[in-house]
Structure 1
Amino acid sequence: MTTTTPRELPGHQAHDPHSGVHSEQGGLPGEHPGRHRNPVIKVRDLAWLEFAKPDLAAAERFAHAFGFVTAATSPDELQLRGTDPGSPCVIVRKRRESRFLGPTFRAADATDLLRLAAAHRTTVRPLPESIGGVGVELVDPSGLPVRVVADTHELPRLPAQAPLALNLGGEARRVNATQRPLRAPARVQRLGHVVLQSTRYGEALDWYLENLGLIVSDFLYYEGQRHRGPTMSFIRCDRGDEPADHHTLAMNLGPSNRYVHSAYQVADLDAMAAGGQYLLDEGYRRSWGIGRHIQGSQLFDYWRDPDGFLVEHFADGDLFDCHLTPGWAPMSASGLAQWGPPATPDFLGVAPGKDALAEARSIIRSLREDNEFDLERLRGLLKVASS
């Protein structure tokens, strides 16, 4: 396989963030550029995620064990936050059945919301007083509600969990002192990203790039199907010269439109590992980890909450500015991590159980419908799961 170097935009010194032992590639002529020439707006960040759950008390117990702090609570709603200032990370609404209700992105200012509303022939509406500010409600091509907000209330910074002082090589940063990280919840700092699956991946990808001004950091494609285009993208906010997380949103092609996982930053590896031991002691289930990803480079640890939602602790992720164009690599289960245990059947969604059964039914239904997930794509996905 020939390795090519991802290209920087003109006028910037060439740098290959994808170089290394995994042979990631840059784009080929005519492939997806990973950005829209003239987006409607450029969002600043992912603000919060919304979920519906029947048992708010159980959701709050897990949230505290995972490292969230309760920002506000009522009989019908639970707001969870990290230690960083800003809005809540997660809003949980009491409903009979568990489901993901959608992501909320933060605009640079309210003027952007007027532009976005005009483009979609909708209106800017005030948000509930507990959140403050204003928002625009949209629906992406997969049918997922997407909200963009501005001028929301700013929660104050909370005391954060400090990274441990490490003796690295010949650098002595800790002398006459021992290392004793507490087996306690890893304090969540902030919401990092959300991963979504879509039967209309290409259409949905273009929608987010055009309307929210997001840009692609990395594309993945099914082995032998690169000519058909990518099947997964890791997408970041375009903040110009200001670095942003390698991905704020990730999307992949699949047989159903669904939430895959969301990720929350913690201080360091010790916070992640000790926090993981605490979660195990409390009876919660690890899905996959601990390891280090390739795309994004994050240290990761994945858990299932009581409602079956997959959530991730992460630390030490890549930061890119707007000048780098996407990397390209084949998609495989073994290519999800540089080191760590193999990706588990639970993480890959193939463990026996109701979720795997639901996805199998989705495959049959999707193959009968008019969407991007056809028989060739199914063969590619099955190769990924077995690789």
Structure 2
Amino acid sequence: MSYSSPTSPYRADANGFFGEFGGAALPPFLVEPIAEVATAYAEASQDPDFLEELQALLSKYVGRPSLLYFAENLTRQLGGARVYLKREDLNHTGAHKINHCLGEALLAKRMGKTKVIAETGAGQHGVALATAAALVGLECEIHMGEIDIAKQHPNVVRMELLGAKVIPVSAGGRSLKEAVDSAFAVYAGAPEEYFFAIGSVVGPHPYPSMVRDFQSVVGREARAQILEAEGRLPDVLVAAVGGGSNAMGLFDAFLTDESVRIVGVEPGGEGLHGTRHAATMTLGTPGTLHGMHTRVLQDSDGEPAPVHSIASGLDYPGVGPQHVRLAELGRAQYVSVTDAETLAAFRTLSRVEGIIPALESSHALAHVMQLAPTLPADAIVIANLSGRGDKDVDYVAELIHGE
């Protein structure tokens, strides 16, 4: 495993800035603890023993490489481009989150921490971190908004079975943003005990780069797999974007391949005309959130605005700073799909391919279902199927019954 040179225009500088975005905007009492994480990761990322241990777990524990699956039935139904799915839903724990959680847990142990703490939205990061903590022998504490606890009860049970302590968060919108706030507050009180395991390519430096690096295995595998299957690179990559970890995981290995179009798909919720969405890249403005300078959906006072998505893992008012930089450079395009389009994609993949996708991943699928018919039959699209939909079936059943 090797990580790309920081001299790339798509990489952060020494202070964690992707152009004007990123950095580490922290209160004084967190500057030293986060700097220690940055130093520890810089050392670990160059340590062959650390990388070898992580790679061994990814292959022998997670089950990597994950499949790159040609969705023949879906391709036939849509017409147009050949559609491939990167099957992160087949990973142990059911999503891409296990990739970076194992890396963070190993780093926490290397730093001598006894506990890992994190936020979770859909629960997949929480489940993955609880799994990694159990494996390496660390205590685990997960903060989760009350709305998401109600929507994702099976994942709450899984976290508790794995030994994690799940903390309900009742403040504000009672979702992902408030869960991050709550977990950060606990971490700030005892950074000598805790390692904060951020669940996406967000937060202060080094987290956006570190989580991307741990997730980059997705794109490296997909690149090799599509070359073997088709003898050439894809025409388009598509992935859902909330914070943006699964997307950066897929996109990273293709950033210098200018022939490959890159598309991130945001939650348009109930429509961009109102406030019931989480389309940060589309409608956000520059601001500071959770220790990073990025795009933020914010009110007239500069406070993070309430957001909404059918997918708990995407209802976040910010986005990873590298995504902002990619859009600024014109390397990636960001679009949105609605809740209704997402639900339709969820049902279509289930019935046509026998694969029940996560609602987060269904955002990417919804855009693919719009895009593929407009492309020639020899075009290739890869969508990141970032997680499975087991966690969503009860909530989806309620939505369908409501229809």
Query: How high is the TM-score relative to the length of structure 1?
Result: 0.26
Whose RCO is larger (CA < 8 A, sep 6+)? 2
Q: Comparing both structures, which one devotes a greater share of its residues to strand?
A: 1
Higher Rg of the two aligned structures:
1
Structure with greater helix percent: 2
